[in-house]
């Protein structure tokens, strides 16, 4: 099979909202921010990367949030993330159970849908 993995997930965001992105992806989800390459940094947006997960937020002039399509993120401390989300006013959405997982949905500050999953 020629596809061997996913390098990163790109989500769109409105221009000038990098601090809101940092407040959610870095401070709530716990993903470290990594500097964008210089030639890409001038476009705006932010990159958040760990050893296993890379989420890149790029500025879209005609931004519309992804309200159905979403990344499913495996987490190790779901309850702690849920609590941080609620403390900062992010609504947690429960959905139908998925065997073997505890999971919730949350929208980032821009309305992009994320699924947070922890193995049960």
8 Å CB contact between 60 and 14: yes
CA–CA separation, 120 vs 116, rounded Å?
Answer: 13
Is 49 within the bounds of a domain? yes
**48-101: per-residue pLDDT in tens?**
999 999 999 999 999 999 999 999 999 999 999 999 999 999 999 998 989 999
- Looking at the whole model, is its pTM more than 0.75? yes
The pLDDT confidence band at residue 1, using thresholds 50, 70 and 90, is: confident
Is 2 within the bounds of a domain? no
CA–CA separation, 103 vs 50, rounded Å?
Answer: 21
- Where in the sequence is the domain holding 64, given as residue range(s)? 9-119
pLDDT of residue 109: 98
- What is the domain-level CATH number for residue 90? 3.10.180.10
Helix (H/G/I), strand (E/B), else coil: 74: strand
> What number of residues does the chain have?
120
The first and second tokens of residue 92, run together, are 């947690």
The whole-number average pLDDT for the span 34-45 is 96
Helix (H/G/I), strand (E/B), else coil: 109: coil
């Amino acid at each position: 099979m020629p596809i061997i993995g996913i390098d990163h997930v790109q989500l769109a965001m409105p221009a000038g909202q990098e601090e809101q992105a940092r407040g959610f992806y870095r401070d709530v989800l716990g993903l470290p921010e990594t500097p964008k390459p210089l030639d890409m940094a001038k476009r705006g947006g932010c990159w958040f990367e760990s050893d296993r997960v890379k989420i890149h937020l790029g500025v879209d002039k005609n931004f519309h949030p992804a309200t159905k399509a979403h990344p499913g993120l495996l987490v190790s401390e779901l309850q702690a993330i849920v609590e941080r989300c609620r403390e900062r006013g992010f609504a947690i959405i429960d959905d139908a159970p998925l065997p073997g997982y505890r999971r919730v949905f949350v929208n980032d500050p821009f309305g992009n849908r994320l699924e947070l999953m922890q193995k049960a």
